[in-house]
Amino acid sequence: MSLIYTTATTKEELIQILSLQQMNLKSAVSDLEMQQEGFVTVHHNLDVLTRMNNACPHIIAKDGDKVVGYALSMTDDFKDEISVLRPMFTELENVNIQNFITMGQICVAKTHRKMGIFRGLYNAMKKASYPKYDAIITEVDATNSRSLGAHYNVGFEKICTYHSLGQDWELISLRTS
């Protein structure tokens, strides 16, 4: 395995992100898999993903030429483009955190889990974000205990829990310095 962490630079890498995302959507995995492995909520399209990447490059983990993990970067310029994330940005208006980048979604391929890639993606994102941003902010579906545990294990801290779209979300933050 020749694993590297880098930023997404090609259309092919973005297409691979979308393919990995599709396999891990909440609608694509069983209830048991959701509990044991977690899931992703947002489905992006290539246009939005490309524009997000142009504004702040996504972090990817590659095994050879295959994307096996990603952490999507999202500036607040995109807050109105992804409807499920609008409530998060509204909630952030009530929080005293400034100078942050939003992590729009993180995912690791099933074949590469439990290898430290989740932590590696966030370490790479912290390096890419500092000193421009003081924190990485994201939200996690409160029922996604696998993802919440992984986020807390890499150093995220809970800002608050809020209710939106019929479910609870945990808004969390990771210092970049």
Tens of pLDDT, residue by residue over 121-149, are 999 999 998 889 999 999 999 999 989 99
What average pLDDT does range 67-94 have in this prediction?
Answer: 91
Q: Whole domain around residue 14: which residue ranges? A: 3-175
The pTM assigned to this predicted structure is 0.93
Distance CA 5, CA 77 (A): 25
Confidence (pLDDT) at 177: 84
Q: Which residue has the higher pLDDT, 101 or 84?
A: 101
Q: How far apart are the first and last CA of the chain?
A: 30
Tens of pLDDT, residue by residue over 8-56, are 999 999 999 999 999 999 899 998 988 888 889 899 999 999 999 999 9
Tokens linked to 130: 């500092």
Is 123 buried (19+), middle (13-18) or exposed (0-12) by CB count in 10 A? middle
Distance CA 109, CA 164 (A): 28
Q: Which of 20, 19, 17 is nearest to 59 (CA)?
A: 17
Confidence (pLDDT) at 83: 85
Structural domain total, the chain: 1
Q: What is the CATH number of the domain that holds 146?
A: 3.40.630.30
